[in-house]
A and B are shown apart, each in its own frame.
Chain A
Amino acid sequence: MTGPVPASAIGPATDVAAGTRFNVCAFTGRRLDEVALRLVRWNAVTSIVALLIGAIAAVLIVLTRWQAVHLLPAIWFYRILGVHGMSMLIFFIIFFEMAVLHFASTALLNARNVAPKISWIAYGLMLLGALMVEYLMWAGKADVLFTSYVPLRAHPLYYLGIILFAVGALIVTGVFFANLRMAKRERTYEGSMPLVVYGAMTAAIIAVITLVHGAMIYIPTFLWSLGLMEVDPQVYRMIWWALGHSSQQINVAAMVAIWYMLGALTVGAVVLNEKISRSAFVLYILFISMASAHHLLVDPGMGSAWKVVNTSYFMYMAVLASLLHGFTVPAGMELGMRLRGYTNGMFDWLRRAPWGDPGFSSLVLSVVVFGFIGGITGVTIGTEQINIIVHNTLRSPGHFHATVVSGTAMAFMGATYYLIPLVFRKKVALWGLAKLQPYIFAGGMVIFTISMTFAGTFGVPRRHWDISFSQAPFDVAFNPAVDIFLALVALGGITAATGAFIFIAIAVKSVFFGEPIGQVTPNTHMRGVPQGLTHPPKHSADVAERWEKMHGPESGFMGPAPGTLVLVFVFLAAFILYFFVNWKVLSFVWRIG
């Protein structure tokens, strides 16, 4: 039985490959492969550069949508909106995921990268693809937004750039599986692979399925752009979203894996039950190809039966998976805290949690905003009929900035606060700001997403330069409340973007100009190193007894995590309320069928 972070777990056969290539982690005693870490560093840094581009774009578009400011001219608004979608959703997120795959398949298993050369080639392909796409977008040769719905047409090299990027990413998933195999063969770990790696593997499997859909759509579209074949606009939408949405499922799986990791590092979160957590990951994989449907609910190409079955991922089994993680992640944190002695009452474990540790606050904010705003709105607006009052309004970006931004991006930022000392071996710079950063980013995003959602309920369209319709043939006068909501969107958006800039400043300063960590004395505070590393969360000595007691009959129905049980029922109540309010609102519009 080990503590939350094993002191040393170097497997028996590791000496085989020992050499100067390997190091021992100063905090966790794990074996680190320098080659893999360099890949992690380059992918992470590239990801953060993409975040910078995306965040600058975000400020420009948010200030344009705020009609009182209306910053950019129309052509630049749409162009920069394309840059924002691509830089954020594709380059920032996926480069970071590549870093996660390299990290999880080596450092977390005491293992090594088996194909350094191929890994670098993959990185090179991705970088080349990304640069091509960025150039063409900025040059005005790809004003098609990131969805590039055929028959809108971009320069052929734009599609080729995306293909190169995707091939690179596919190769990295291949390296990931090869690393896992080799770790197993070399027995670098005992027993089954850790849950966090299992989650990363889920993300990698989904990535393969996703990238196959990507090839299925971008190769024909590339040929179409050269005039070599036809692409049907509806078929394009269907397969494009099999790529576009499945990739969101990669993000969810990667995010949940990071939730488990940050829980373990910051508060010694335990795995309540491996069976349930792992089965939930499997549910993500099973129904993934159905994911495109909720983008097509009001499309003419498919019938209702297809829409109903697919939008629900076959009866909401992927939603079930998220509902399970939504319980097991906080419950694991609660139990971890209780096993460390924070046993008073229902919520003492929460009150006394390390709220000043940016890894911990990012984790909690990510779980809460993803669940309460992203999850609830997502399932509701992805309902076949409710989508009629949502499709392409601001409710849609309102929803996904609560999932992939406040959820995934927030989790990635939290992980970075631990990766800086663990992988870059630097102290986190601007530590005082780092403690605040998660609150600024998530706080801004909460205002932003809620205001966008409200503006959307008035029918305010997404991807729209001018809702005063000054150049339109007929006047459209939105409810004055819309002006207030759009101002709040700007306020929240600028706040969140400030949070992103602070994060970028911290990451860049730490990585390039940061103070090396040097000697580590356990249980001594070190400014710039999160407390989860200086004071690894230890369970109390009688942990087995406590566990037994908390699971026994004396703990009653509420079991080992009573606080979490209360929280998930509050969540369920909010979910039920929001869901049925939307049906009610739908029932007021014209009869249609």
Chain B
Amino acid sequence: MHIDIHTGLDSPKGNWWKPAHRAEKTWVVIAFAWCMVLFAMMPLWHWKGGQNPSGIRRRVEPGEFYKRTLEFSAQYKVGEDRGMPIVAPPPGSDVYLTAMAFQWTPILKLQKGKEYILHLSSLDVNHGFSLYPININFQVVPGYDYGLRVTPNASGDFRIICNEFCGIGHHTMVGRVIVEDPPAAPAAPVATTGGIQ
């Protein structure tokens, strides 16, 4: 076989479609197999895993969504903090959270181990939902309702940080989520912590 030893700066002469060495071929096969694993993990996690960004997604008129949020707040309001309603919806219900420059409204009070459908949307520009310190992050886009089924797995006083630049007051945009242990039901089914069961 004629060998044409050359660098990447030289023109290969003649037909360069030549078989590769076994070592190189092996790497191609292993790299390909790894790519398939990378890919397979995503459908697998949808099937078996506990954290997926699927959600119930639909378009919504921003004003409409905000109105829905206000109704929801009035319906389940249990208190107030710094003028902001604290809202405690029943487990299993639809929960509405509106982002606007520069606040998250309302304050949510949820129960540990119970599922809710958390609807996120924005009244004005893009915002970023970042639940602190859990570190769950979603993009909040005006005109779109992102309904995520969430199940808190620990009680505590959480924050929502805005992590999408939304204007000059972006860094002041912090919301609040309170998670409590379910009331007087010691035998209640313990929440799974997620992950592959």
Chain A: residues with CB nearer than 8 A to chain B? Answer: 1-2, 4-6, 9, 74-75, 78, 108, 143, 145, 149, 151-152, 189-196, 199, 232-234, 237, 257, 260-261, 263-265, 268-278, 296-304, 307-308, 311-312, 315-317, 319-320, 323-324, 327-328, 331-332, 336, 339, 379, 383-385, 387-393, 457-459, 461-467, 469, 471-474, 476, 478-479, 539, 543-544, 547-548, 551, 557-562, 565, 568, 572, 575-576, 579, 583-584, 586-593
Range of interface residues on chain B?
35 or more
Is the Cβ of B151 less than 8 Å from the Cβ of A591? yes
- Which 3 residue pairs across A and B have the least CB separation, nearest first? A587-B195, A260-B8, A559-B23
Q: How far is the CA of A5 from the CA of B51 in the complex (A)?
A: 54
B35, A316: Cβ atoms closer than 8 Å:
yes
Per-residue A-contact encoding for B42-80, CB less than 8 Å = 1, 0 else: 110110011111110100000000000000000000000
**Could you tell me the distance between the alpha carbons of A189 and B171 in the complex, rounded to whole angstroms?**
58
Alpha-carbon gap, A543 to B4, bound state (A): 11
CB distance from B170 to the nearest CB of A (A): 7
- Pairs A–B under 8 Å by Cβ, sample size 10: A194-B11, A270-B7, A272-B20, A301-B141, A308-B39, A308-B43, A320-B35, A544-B5, A547-B5, A559-B22
Cβ-closest chain A residue relative to B115: A591
Contact between chains at A303 and B193 (CB < 8 Å): no
Given contacts A74-B168, A300-B57, contact A587 B49 (CB under 8 A): yes
Docked complex: B147-179 residues within 8 A CB-CB of A? 148-153, 159, 161-168, 170-176
Instruction: Give residues 90-143 of B contacting A (CB, 8 Å).
Output: 103, 115, 120-121, 124-126, 128, 130-143
Q: How far is the CA of A591 from the CA of B194 in the complex (A)?
A: 5
- Nearest-CB distance from B109 to chain A (Å)? 14
Report yes or no: A331 in contact with B24, Cβ–Cβ below 8 A. Answer: yes
- Name the A residues within 8 Å of B103 (CB-CB): 473
Pick the contact of B194: A151, A193, A299, A588 (CB < 8 A).
A588
A588 in contact with B12 (CB, 8 Å): no
> Which A residues touch B192, using CB under 8 A?
591
Selected from A189, A233, A298, A547, the residue in CB contact (under 8 A) with B126 is A233
Question: Taking the nearest CB of chain B, how far is it from the CB of A425, in angstroms?
Answer: 19
Question: Judging by beta carbons under 8 Å apart, are A275 and B53 in contact?
Answer: no
- CB neighbours (8 Å) of B55 from chain A are 300, 593
In the assembled complex, which residues on chain A have CB atoms less than 8 Å from the CB atom of B146?
300
- With A5-B9, A269-B8, A472-B171 known as contacts, the answer to whether A233 contacts B21 (CB < 8 A) is no
Do the beta carbons of B54 and A303 come within 8 Å of each other?
Answer: yes
Q: Is the CB of A194 within 8 A of B10?
A: yes
> Nearest A residue to B31 by beta-carbon distance?
A323
Which residues from B are CB-within-8-Å of A74? Answer: 168, 171
In the complex formed, the residue of B with least CB distance to A312 is B39
Nearest CB of A to B134, in Å: 5
Contact in complex: B14, A191 (CB < 8 Å): yes
Q: How far is the CA of A234 from the CA of B126 in the complex (A)?
A: 9
Q: Is the CB of B50 within 8 A of A274?
A: no
Residue from the set A260, A312, A316, A331 with the largest chain B CB neighbour count within 10 Å: A316
Q: Could you tell me the distance in whole angstroms from the C-beta of B120 to the nearest C-beta in chain A?
A: 7
User: Which residue, of B52, B135, B159, B193, has the highest number of chain A Cβ atoms within 10 A?
Assistant: B135
**A385–B35 contact, CB under 8 A?**
no
Distance in angstroms from B82 CB to nearest chain A CB is: 5
Q: Is B38 an interface residue (CB 8 A)?
A: yes
Closest residue of chain A to B124 (Cβ to Cβ) is: A151
Determine the chain B residues whose CB is within 8 A of the CB of A551 once the complex forms.
Answer: 21
Pair A587/B194 contact, Cβ less than 8 Å: yes
Determine if B54 and A591 form an interchain contact, defined as CB atoms under 8 angstroms apart: no
B57 touches A303 (CB 8 A): yes
Nearest A residue to B17 via CB reads A275
A391 adjacent to B128 (CB under 8 Å): yes
CB distance from A329 to the nearest CB of B (A): 9
Chain A: minimal CB distance from B128 (Å): 5
